[in-house]
Amino acid sequence: MLFYLQTEFDKLLVLSIGGPHLAGIYAIIMRLVDLNAIPIRTFSMMLVQRMMRAPELLSRLAIKSGIEGGVFLVSTLALLSLGIVLHFFPNALGKNVAEAAPW
């Protein structure tokens, strides 16, 4: 619940400082980030459940580093691929998103 309150508070803060146009662009960008984060959160939840069942996985530094690096790599590649798609096809997610695509 606090996560959603923080998200709404951020929008109000951007609205009060930057105006309605900037707040709209901010909201679109945050939705795009959430669109990429949903599969990554699901993967992370499954990974945490696996690690809780087998805590010996965390005893080796190579496995811990691999997990952290894998999550970083997948999330970065997802955002990068969405940015590339929107660069070449700005209307791919609708005309409202096309305005925020350069950001």
Check whether 101 has a pLDDT greater than 70. no
Give the pLDDT confidence score for residue 82 in this predicted structure: 80
pLDDT digits (tens, 9 = 90+) for 6-63: 767 877 788 888 888 777 778 777 777 777 777 777 777 887 788 888 877 777 788 8
Confidence of residue 102 (pLDDT cuts 50, 70, 90): low
Residue ranges of the domains in the chain? 2-100
d(CA 47, CA 45): 5
d(CA 88, CA 23): 24
